[in-house]
Structure 1
C-alpha cells in the first residue's frame, strides 16, 4: 500500500508529540512493507518567505518539505499555494492512502486536494484545531473555553488570500466541513472525540485509537524503595497552560511542611516561556536542595529520567488530548499524578495507575502528592499496574489498528450539515456580528458558512445557497451559482437579486440583515441538504457573462472560474 503521511512539522526540526507520532508511525509502516512518503512543513530559511519546496531523506523516508508562510490563526487554515504543491506531490507519489496529522499552517484545503485526487483519507486529530483557532481551548484570561461559538472573542477575524478580513466563523465552518469529508477520522482519546461532537461535528466517520508509545525504549523495572527520597518528575512545555505555576506552588507547599523534609525531590525537564523563572527559583534556598531543573532534554534522554522516577506529574490546566508523557509513564511502569481534565482521565485509572486531582486545585494536588510521599508503596503499586498494561498502549498495537482502518470501506454518507457559500466585499461590523452570533438561530439544524473562494467542487455541489453579504459580491461566484441553480440570498435591488427575480430563478432579496437572518434560519430548518436540481438558464447566464469585465472570470489553469 502506498501511504502519504502529512504533518505540518516533522523531525528532526520539530519533536513535539504529534510530529513524533507521525514519524514513528511512518517508520513502522515502512518496516511492515508499505511504501511511505511524507509531505511536511517547516519554518522558512532566512532567504525564504514561504512556499518553497525541498526534498530530504529522514531515516530512510523521502520527506517533501514546504516552507510555511504563517502559523497565525487567521491564515493557517487555508493556503492555495500549499494545495498546488501538495497536488504535485500526490501526482508524483500516487498514494492509495493520505494520512493527515496536524495541518495547521498547511491548510485544510489539502484534504480537498486528496479527495479530488481520489485517494482514501485518514486524519488523526491531535488537538482542538478543527473548531478552535488557537488549538488549545485556552482563553487569554487564563481559563478553559466552554463557549465553542465564541471564537471571535479570541481571534477577531481571519483573512482570505488577498488579505480581506473575514468573520471568524467562516474559518471554523470551513475547517469542520473539510474534516467531515475525511473517510476516517481518528481521535486518540474519548475526550477529544466528545469535544468535537459537542462543537457540532458529525462523528459518523470517527474512530477512537491511542497513538501508542514505543514501549521498548523504556525500562519498566521498579525502583527500590531504598533508592532515596520519592522522586517526582515533570517533562513538558514550561508554560502556564501546563500548570507550571501550580507545580512551583506545590514545591513551596511541600517545603513548608517540616515532616516531609528529606523525603521527596522534584525534577523538571523542558523548555518554554517560563524557563527563566524556573531557572532562577531552583537557585534559591531551600528550592535548590529539592528541585532540579534539567532544561530541554533530547528524545533519547527521557527514558533514563523516567526510569529514575517514582511518580510522573502532569498538572495541566487546559484540556490535552493524549499527552505523550502520560503514555511514557505507562511504558516506564511509573505512577501517574495528573489533573482531571481533557484526555488525562483516559490514561490515568484513578486509584489504580495513579491519582487524579481537580484541575487548578492546589490543595487537592498537595494532598495527593503528600499521599505518595507518606506511602511509598502506593507509587510502587500504581507503577506495577501500568507495567502490566503497557503492551495495550504500544505503538505496534496502534499501527496495526491503523492498518485495519486503512483497509475499511469508507462510510457512504454525505455530511449532514448544510453548506451556505458566502461572498461579498470587505465585511462591515454588522456582517461580522451576523456570522459570529448566528448560532442563536440554529435550533434543530446546522449551517456551515463557507467562503466561496475556499469551496471545492464537492462543497459547490452540496451547497444549499449562496449568501451575498453585500451588493458587490464576486460575479464569478454569482455566475457559478446561477449555472448550478443554487439559490442566491442577496441584498434587494442589487444585480444578484434582480437576476433571480426577473428570470424566476431561485433566490431571495433581503432589505436588511434581519430579513437575511430569517432566510438563512429557514434553510437550517429544512430537511434537504442541497439545492434542488433543475434546468439551467444557459442563455441568461451567457448574456450576463458577455456584459462582465474579463477580470470577473479569473480564468487560470490553477483556478478555473466555473
Structure 2
C-alpha cells in the first residue's frame, strides 16, 4: 500500500507482516505542549507514548512550544523528572508569544516551520507523529520524503476552531457559524480555515482516534484512514490491588465550566449522599472554595496533588465523576481510575460511555444536577462502588496498558511502511469527491 492511500487498515491484518519484526524506527513527535510545559492530558499522552516507544529501543524526538505555554500561563513551570531516552527539542521563539498567536490566527508560524524543517533535516525521521498542533500551525504537516505522517486527534481541532464542538462555548454545535462563534468566545476568527488547500489535512497518511466517537466526528474532515486505538496510561498498580472504597466521589481535571464542575457543585448542595473531593486548578477554584468554606456544598478542595496522593484518592474513591458538558474524547483520568479499580460515573456526551464497557465499569447520566443526584443514588443503592471494582481493573488490563497500545500502534505503523511512499495529490474539497473515510477499530480484549 502506498503512503497517502485511503484504503482501510486493520491491526489484525498487520500482525502477519510485523510478527517477529524487531526493526527500530526514528520518531519525531510534534506537539504544542509537553510536560512540564503543559495544561492537560494531550501533552501527558505524548509523554507516555514517547517513553513507551523509547523503552522498546526506538529513537524518539519531541518538539514543542514553550512560547505556547507562556501564552496560556505566566512564568516557567517546575521542572519534572527527565527521561534521557527521549530527546526534547523546545521550539525557539525570538518574538515570544507572537509566535503561537500567529500560528493560531494565520494557520502558520514562520518560526515554527523553520525550526521544524531544520529538525527534520537533522534527524531524518521514519515517522512524524503530530498531536495537538493548534498553536504550532500547518507547517508541521509537511511530510518529509520517505517518512510516514501520523496524527492523533485529542480534540476536534480538525473541524472546529474552538476544538470542542461547543457553540459559543455553551452548547453542542449543530449549525456551525464559526466566525460568530469565535467572536462571541473572545477569540480571533481563523480565516485561514476558509481556504481550500489545508482541508482534509492532505499530508497525513493515518489518523488515530482514542475513541470511536472521535473517529466518527473527525472522519469526514480527513482524507486519510482513521484508526481507533483506546487510550492508555502506565500501570500505577501493577500488583492489581483493589481497595475498599471510602465515602467520597472524586473529580480530577481543570476547574472550568466545560468539565461540569457547576453540576457537581449544584448536586453537592442538595440533601443526599454526594460528597466530592476535587483535584485540579482553574477559573472556578475560588468560587468552589467559597462554597466549601461556607458549608453550602459537600466539597473537599484538594488543589494540585502529588502523584502519590492522586493514587491514594483513586484507589479509595467510590467512583470518578466526569460530568463534562462537552463531548469528551477518552480522558486519561478515566484510564488511571480504572487501573485502581475505581468505577466511573460519566456524562453521556462524546466518547465517555465507551469507557463504561456496557456497564461493567460504571454508569452514565445526563450532565445536570438532577441527573447526577439520581445517578449517585442509584449507584449506591446497587452497591456498585464495591461490585464493579474487579471489572474496572480487568478493563484496564485488557485495553489500556502501554504494552497493548504500543503493540497495536506499531503494527499499524509498520503496515503503512510496507510500500514505498508516493506524493500526496493536491486536495480541494470542492472537486466533487467523497471526502468520507473508513473508520477502523483495532481489536481489544473487552469491547464496549
Q: 1:413 to 1:363 in 2, by over 3 A?
A: farther
Distance in 2 between residues matched to 1:382 and 1:302, nearest whole Å:
20
Q: 1:144 to 1:307 in 2, by over 3 A?
A: same
Distance in 2 between residues matched to 1:208 and 1:130, nearest whole Å:
16
Structure-2 residue corresponding to 1:20: 44
Structure-2 residue corresponding to 1:30: 54
Distance in 2 between residues matched to 1:170 and 1:189, nearest whole Å:
27
Structure-1 residue corresponding to 2:10: none
**Helix, strand or coil for the counterpart of 2:36?**
coil
Unaligned ranges ≥5, structure 1: 47-55, 158-162, 420-445, 448-523, 528-562
Shift of residue 182, structure 1, vs aligned partner: 0.8
2:196 matches 1:176 = no
Structure-2 residue corresponding to 1:110: 140
**Helix, strand or coil for the counterpart of 1:356?**
strand
Distance in 1 between residues matched to 2:200 and 2:149, nearest whole Å:
14
Q: 1:98 to 1:291 in 2, by over 3 A?
A: same
Query: Which stretch of structure 1 is more off in the superposition, 344-353 or 80-89?
Result: 344-353
Structure-2 residue corresponding to 1:266: 276
Structure-2 residue corresponding to 1:408: 415
Q: Is the 8 A contact 1:318 1:341 kept in 2?
A: yes
Q: 1:223 to 1:231 in 2, by over 3 A?
A: farther
Query: Which stretch of structure 1 is more off in the superposition, 212-221 or 93-102?
Result: 212-221
Structure-2 residue corresponding to 1:215: 235
Structure-2 residue corresponding to 1:506: none
Select 2:119's aligned residue among 78, 89, 95: 89
**Helix, strand or coil for the counterpart of 2:248?**
strand
Q: 1:5 to 1:299 in 2, by over 3 A?
A: farther
2:357 matches 1:349 = yes
Aligned residues: 389
Select 1:380's aligned residue among 381, 386, 390: 386
Shift of residue 416, structure 1, vs aligned partner: 8.9
Structure-2 residue corresponding to 1:361: 368
Distance in 2 between residues matched to 1:214 and 1:128, nearest whole Å:
25
Q: 1:81 to 1:285 in 2, by over 3 A?
A: closer
Structure-1 residue corresponding to 2:179: 152
Q: Is the 8 A contact 1:192 1:342 kept in 2?
A: yes
Q: 1:167 to 1:71 in 2, by over 3 A?
A: closer
Q: 1:44 to 1:414 in 2, by over 3 A?
A: closer
**Helix, strand or coil for the counterpart of 1:294?**
strand
**Helix, strand or coil for the counterpart of 2:357?**
coil
Shift of residue 4, structure 1, vs aligned partner: 1.1
Shift of residue 385, structure 1, vs aligned partner: 1.3
Distance in 2 between residues matched to 1:306 and 1:87, nearest whole Å:
42
Structure-1 residue corresponding to 2:293: 283
The equivalences for 1:109-148 within 5 A come to 109-112=139-142, 115-140=143-168, 142-147=170-175
Shift of residue 330, structure 1, vs aligned partner: 1.4
Query: Which stretch of structure 1 is more off in the superposition, 302-311 or 272-281?
Result: 302-311
Q: 1:418 to 1:107 in 2, by over 3 A?
A: closer
Shift of residue 361, structure 1, vs aligned partner: 3.0
Shift of residue 526, structure 1, vs aligned partner: 8.1
Q: 1:379 to 1:219 in 2, by over 3 A?
A: farther
Q: Is the 8 A contact 2:31 2:43 kept in 1?
A: yes
Structure-1 residue corresponding to 2:6: none
**Helix, strand or coil for the counterpart of 2:286?**
helix
**Helix, strand or coil for the counterpart of 1:133?**
coil
Q: 1:58 to 1:7 in 2, by over 3 A?
A: farther
Larger radius of gyration: 1
Shift of residue 168, structure 1, vs aligned partner: 5.5
**Helix, strand or coil for the counterpart of 1:216?**
coil
Q: Is the 8 A contact 1:202 1:416 kept in 2?
A: no
The equivalences for 1:471-550 within 5 A come to 524-525=431-432
RMSD between aligned residues: 2.9
2:108 matches 1:78 = yes
Unaligned ranges ≥5, structure 2: 1-24, 71-79, 435-448
Shift of residue 415, structure 1, vs aligned partner: 7.5
Structure-1 residue corresponding to 2:402: 395
Distance in 2 between residues matched to 1:335 and 1:357, nearest whole Å:
14
Shift of residue 301, structure 1, vs aligned partner: 3.4
Distance in 1 between residues matched to 2:426 and 2:356, nearest whole Å:
35
Shift of residue 303, structure 1, vs aligned partner: 1.5
**Helix, strand or coil for the counterpart of 1:345?**
helix
